[in-house]
Amino acid sequence: MAFGLFTSNKNEDRDNNNDRGHTTSSWWIHRGERSRTNKRDSDLKTSPTAVRNSFLAGWTAGITGTLAGHPLDSLKVWVQTGIRPTKDTASAKSSGMLNTVRRYYSGVGGPLVTVGILSSINFAVYDTTRRFLYFNIQRPKADPYGPERRDYLNDDSYTSVGVAGFAAGTVLSMIHAPILMVKTMQQTKQMTVKEALRLTRAHPTTGFGVHFLVETLNRSVYFCTYEYLKRQFEQQQRDLDDDSISKSPKASLGGRMISAAAAGINCWAMLYPADALRSRMYAHMATGDPVSSLEMVKTMYAEGGIRNFYRGFTVTTLRAGPVAAAILPVYDYVLDTLNSMS
């Protein structure tokens, strides 16, 4: 009997020790997971590597979009302004196909040199703002270890995406305005860069209100539409995926291109009249006598009514789709690649 009691107490002591060991082990595992999670979150919020990756991805995407879309951009500006350079004004030395290519790529020098930097700044500000809003505002309100917690690229709100796009547009609007002025005057008047720069420096604030509206709202609508449609494709993939472990399936390349093309068309459809007004104001700068946005609205309406604000709409939407389909998927792909290598 005494032996039985002794054996029972010994077994209970062993069980208690095992329970304490299991509890201690679980605590260390939980602590390790929490430490890794906190470190990963800290890296995403503050690491220069994250900013560098979005910067490089934006540069690559911007160059790709410029090369793909500049000919249609030239055609858009010609239709909007009613001014199209002839063979003689484009180049007396060029002829045939070379002259055609030269006219369609007229003014590409400035964007090609600067677009990499502009696109890098655009996506770096956009991505950094999304990360800041997610990790400092949205995520602290959620369950720290809930299954819905994944990462900011898949889990942040559309409000954060829109605000991030607006922030990127705000920064870019101040840098992009003089570049766009020079490009438009080159496209419509075949002016030299020196002459276009002289006029830009003389009238630096011409049309800035309209320009700011287009740059900020355009990006907000653009990015929100893309993220919404891309996540619909991802949800569809998730529903079809038999592997329940996969929490964040990536949208296919085709799905991303469709989402990006629809986003580009949607944002330009909403803001096209303001863009047409901006183009007319910048083209008119070549006369040396810029006008206010209100005066240009009156002029455009007198010339052709509301329809005049939609001249070139078809060309613009045809351009917006392919260019966006090139830019955003390229950005996503390069960013994912760089992040996985970091």
**Helix or strand holding residue 36 (H, E):** helix 2-46
Question: How far are the Cα atoms of 143, 162, 164, 305, 323 from residue 139, in angstroms, in the given order?
Answer: 8, 17, 16, 49, 33
Answer yes or no: do 19 and 65 share one domain: no
Q: Report the C-alpha gap between 246 and 288 in whole angstroms.
A: 61
Question: Is the confidence at residue 127, as pLDDT, over 70?
Answer: yes
15 and 155 share one domain: no
CATH number, domain containing residue 102: 1.50.40.10
**Taking CA 320 as the corner, what is the angle to CA 309 and CA 114, rounded to the nearest 5 degrees?**
100
Task: Please tell me the distance from the alpha carbon of residue 185 to that of residue 207, in angstroms, as a whole number.
Answer: 14
- Are residue 4 and residue 63 in the same domain, yes or no? no
DSSP characters for 200-256? HHHSTTTTHHHHHHHHHHHHHHHHHHHHHHHHHHHHHHHHH---TT--SPPPPHHHH
Q: What is the pLDDT of residues 141-163, one digit of tens each?
A: 655 555 444 577 778 899 999 99
Residue with tokens 């613009």, as numbered in its chain: 316
Q: What is the C-alpha separation between 26 and 29, in angstroms, rounded?
A: 5
Residue 82: give the domain boundaries: 50-341
* Same domain (yes/no): 77, 208: yes
- 147 phi, psi to nearest 5 deg: -65, -20
| Residue 158 and residue 264 in one domain | yes
Residue 44 resides in a domain: no
Torsion 287-292-295-298 (CA) sign: positive
- For residue 189, pLDDT beyond 90: no
- pLDDT band, very low/low/confident/very high, at 202 (cuts 50, 70, 90): confident
DSSP state, residue 288: T
Directed axis angle between helix 158-189 and helix 193-202, to 10°? Answer: 120
pLDDT of residue 6: 44
Per-residue pLDDT tens for 218-273? 999 999 999 999 999 988 877 776 554 445 567 888 899 999 999 999 998 899 99
Q: Specify the number of domains making up the chain.
A: 2
Q: What is the dihedral of CA 329, 332, 337, 342, to 10 degrees?
A: 170
Residue 217 lies in a domain: yes
Question: Domain check: are 148 and 97 in the same one?
Answer: yes
Residue 51 DSSP label: H
**Residue 45 belongs to some domain of the structure:** no
- pLDDT for res 37: 46
- pLDDT computed for residue 142 by the predictor: 58
Measured CA to CA, the distance from residue 240 to residue 15 in angstroms comes to 46
Residues 197 and 142 in one domain: yes
CB 268 within 8 A of CB 317: yes
The answer to whether position 43 is within a domain reads no
Distance from C-alpha of 284 to C-alpha of 293, rounded to nearest angstrom: 11
Instruction: For residues 65 and 192, state if they share a domain.
Output: yes
> Half-sphere exposure of residue 54, counting CA atoms within 13 Å on the CB side?
19
How confident is the model at residue 203, as a pLDDT? 84
Of 154, 177, 144, residue with least CA distance to 37: 144
Q: Quick one: pLDDT band at residue 87, thresholds 50, 70, 90?
A: low
Could you tell me if 9 and 66 lie in one domain? no
**Per-residue burial over 267-277, b = 16 or more CB atoms within 10 Å of its CB, e = otherwise:** bbeebbbbbbb
Establish if 92 belongs to a structural domain: yes
27 and 105 co-located in one domain: no
With respect to residue 132, please indicate whether it lies within any of the assigned structural domains. Answer: yes
Single-letter amino acid, residue 207: G
- Same domain? For 24 and 88 the reply is no
In this prediction, residue 297 carries a pLDDT of 93
Q: Is residue 283 part of a domain?
A: yes
User: How many degrees, rounded to 5, is the angle at CA 82 between CA 206 and CA 105?
Assistant: 80
Closest by CA position to 42, among listed 151, 129, 135, 133:
135
Q: Do 55 and 22 lie in a common domain?
A: no
The answer to whether position 42 is within a domain reads: no
